[in-house]
A and B are shown apart, each in its own frame.
Chain A
Amino acid sequence: MDYFLELFLGGLTRGSIYALIALGYTMVYGIIELINFAHGEIYMIGAFTGLIVISVLTLLGWNTVAVIVIAALVAMIYSAAYGYTIEKIAYKPLRGSQRLSALISAIGMSLFLQNYVLLAQTSNFLPYPNLIPEFTFVKPIEHIVRSTEIVIYIATALVMVGLTVLIKFTRMGKAMRAVAQDRDMAMLVGVDVNRVISFTFIIGSSIAALGGVLVASHIGQVNYYVGFIAGIKAFVAAVLGGIGSMPGAVLGSLVLGWTESFFTGYISSDYEDVFAFIFLVLILIFRPAGILGRSQTDKV
């Protein structure tokens, strides 16, 4: 039973991490129908930014909780600036051209950012200090779940609640939904579509950066390549849940996280990624729009 619980919570951790990245994919896809392949790199840049801030503030002897909070905030802001800039220079000029062009531009951006960080930092794995405090109430169940994981759950839950409120009740959220459903018409009721698109990139990027800092703290290391695998997995999760749907991204992430966790736990850990992709293939065969996705037939 303990083993099952451990796998369940481990899956929940993976799922939460995927969700933090998948939300950005799905939001951007919902608004401009682009798979932003550079999104994983935003996550990686967030983790690196966090590491730099942590190193500096730790040297200055700051309190660890303050350090991790400030590091996460700085990483979010810095990555948001990256997301905003990427959209402006790599995607906006291609708006209105074929979708393939923007997709290729996204892949190029992803490779560029990876290699940029490789050159600017190092190709080695850098150790990542875990400054998230050990909660005393976790002590008795330490063998099943760690404090960092609990922080990841809470952060993901807060992000989900925050996004739901944003989308449902704010003016910008309404504008986002309108743009997602009919961009030209949204413009004709007075929505500034460029602002909505920029805003979407900013929000998606800052959530990914938060994920980057938390995951790197959890795993204990980071390098320039971590965004690639995490990004691909989160992309699978977003497609699984129905790309363009935010509840779908979260659900798809959790399903993927649990699938990986249980398969590796009960069958074999050598085929972790294989299970994820077999699952993706099955979903695409039997439910191409994803779990919560809308079929495209009603789109005129």
Chain B
Amino acid sequence: MLELLDINTFYGNIQALKGVSLEIAEGEIVTLIGANGAGKTTTLMSICGAVPPRSGEIKFEGRAISDMRPNEIVALGISQVPEGRRIFPYLSVAENLDMGAFLRDDREGVKKDVEYIYGLFPILAERRHQAGGTLSGGEQQMLAISRALMARPRMLLLDEPSLGLAPLVVKRIFEIIRKINAENKTTIFLVEQNANLALKVAHRGYVMENGRIIMSDRADQLLTNEDVRKAYLGI
């Protein structure tokens, strides 16, 4: 479904991605793990068009998207839950959800999806008139995921959804990620520093170091891999 072919991405003169290739099939949960600064977020930024790669190719369903602008890529069905959640702080919870559905014209469908989201996260229904910036970290993460879902994406990019959240909240978020994948058949690309957690929900995983993919395998294989365990699982 999504294919990265030997992409090189730069911030000014600094090369953040060095020949990254990876592939995600429809319906999969694929995770990208690695240390801080390995280039995980940059990989997502390259996919969504915010920091386009200088060379290499990105294909979504066989179509080259490396030259497209972010808003055009969203329209193809790729939604992002960015690092740090990036909730619109002065828009209400309901308006934040509405922004997620910005490109959709089917009012009825949007309404139904909002109800679905409120069923998924009842706390958001309670706070629907509250400004997004006043929510707790966990609630904001729920809202960020919900906002991305409002676009009815076929592929969801998640950047560090566990960052800075209490363990119980993290558990709930990951349950939801699994549920979204199982029920809606949404393909998920999950970037995480918490490798243990990520590899438990994912089908396959890639390991990144210094802007390169150094390993890829089935998630359960990576979980038991000696090198991975030492470097990323702290065992």
Whole-angstrom CA separation of A217 from B50 in the bound complex: 48
Asked, given contacts A175-B102, A188-B50, whether A193 binds B91 with beta carbons under 8 Å apart, the answer is no
- Return the contact of B71 from the options A174, A191, A294, A300 (Cβ within 8 A): A191
Whole-angstrom CA separation of A300 from B140 in the bound complex: 15
- B233 at the binding interface (Cβ < 8 Å): no
- B74 at the binding interface (Cβ < 8 Å): yes
Main secondary structure of the interface of A (DSSP, over half): helix
Whole-angstrom CA separation of A182 from B82 in the bound complex: 12
Report B153 CB to chain A, min CB distance, Å. Answer: 11
* Chain A residues with CB below 8 A from B69, complex form: 187, 192
Report B13 CB to chain A, min CB distance, Å. Answer: 16
* Chain A residues with CB below 8 A from B84, complex form: 300
Whole-angstrom CA separation of A206 from B74 in the bound complex: 32
CB pair A181 B90 closer than 8 Å = yes
CB pair A190 B89 closer than 8 Å = no
Q: Give per-residue flags for A204-230: 1 if the beta carbon is below 8 A from chain B beta carbons, else 0.
A: 000000000000000000000000000
- A185 at the binding interface (Cβ < 8 Å): yes
CB pair B147 A181 closer than 8 Å = no
- A184 at the binding interface (Cβ < 8 Å): yes
- B99 at the binding interface (Cβ < 8 Å): yes
- A298 at the binding interface (Cβ < 8 Å): yes
Q: Give per-residue flags for B138-156: 1 if the beta carbon is below 8 A from chain A beta carbons, else 0.
A: 0000000001000100000
CB pair A190 B98 closer than 8 Å = no
Question: Chain A residue with minimal CB distance to B75?
Answer: A190
- Return the contact of B82 from the options A174, A188, A191, A298 (Cβ within 8 A): A188
CB pair A190 B74 closer than 8 Å = yes
- B103 at the binding interface (Cβ < 8 Å): yes
Report A253 CB to chain B, min CB distance, Å. Answer: 22
Whole-angstrom CA separation of A191 from B69 in the bound complex: 10
* Chain A residues with CB below 8 A from B71, complex form: 187, 190-193
CB pair A185 B102 closer than 8 Å = no
Q: Which residues between 77 and 111 of chain A lie within 8 Å of chain B, taking CB atoms? A: none
CB pair A188 B90 closer than 8 Å = no
Report A145 CB to chain B, min CB distance, Å. Answer: 38
Whole-angstrom CA separation of A181 from B79 in the bound complex: 19
- A144 at the binding interface (Cβ < 8 Å): no
* Chain B residues with CB below 8 A from A193, complex form: 71
Most chain A CB inside 10 Å of its own CB: which residue of B71, B74, B90, B103: B71
Whole-angstrom CA separation of A294 from B89 in the bound complex: 12
Whole-angstrom CA separation of A182 from B99 in the bound complex: 12
Most chain B CB inside 10 Å of its own CB: which residue of A174, A178, A190: A190
* Chain A residues with CB below 8 A from B80, complex form: 188
CB pair B50 A184 closer than 8 Å = yes
Report A180 CB to chain B, min CB distance, Å. Answer: 9
* Chain B residues with CB below 8 A from A191, complex form: 71, 99, 102
CB pair B91 A188 closer than 8 Å = no
CB pair A189 B74 closer than 8 Å = yes
CB pair A188 B70 closer than 8 Å = yes
CB pair B98 A174 closer than 8 Å = yes
CB pair B88 A298 closer than 8 Å = no
Report B12 CB to chain A, min CB distance, Å. Answer: 11
CB pair A188 B88 closer than 8 Å = no
* Chain A residues with CB below 8 A from B70, complex form: 187-188
* Chain A residues with CB below 8 A from B74, complex form: 188-190
Q: Give per-residue flags for B89-124: 1 if the beta carbon is below 8 A from chain A beta carbons, else 0.
A: 111000100111011000000000000000000000
CB pair B82 A185 closer than 8 Å = yes
- A177 at the binding interface (Cβ < 8 Å): yes
Whole-angstrom CA separation of A123 from B133 in the bound complex: 52
- B208 at the binding interface (Cβ < 8 Å): no
Whole-angstrom CA separation of A192 from B102 in the bound complex: 10
CB pair B91 A178 closer than 8 Å = yes
Q: Which residues between 263 and 300 of chain A lie within 8 Å of chain B, taking CB atoms? A: 294, 298, 300
CB pair A298 B89 closer than 8 Å = yes
CB pair B102 A188 closer than 8 Å = no
16 contacts between A and B (CB under 8 A): A175-B102, A177-B88, A178-B99, A181-B89, A181-B90, A182-B88, A182-B89, A186-B88, A187-B69, A189-B79, A189-B100, A189-B103, A189-B147, A190-B151, A191-B71, A192-B71
Known pairs A184-B50, A191-B102 / 15 extra A-B pairs, C-beta < 8 Å: A174-B102, A182-B89, A184-B86, A185-B82, A187-B70, A188-B48, A188-B74, A188-B80, A189-B79, A190-B74, A191-B71, A191-B99, A192-B69, A192-B71, A298-B133
In the complex, the 5 A-B pairs of residues with the closest C-beta atoms, listed nearest first: A190-B74, A190-B103, A185-B86, A187-B70, A181-B88
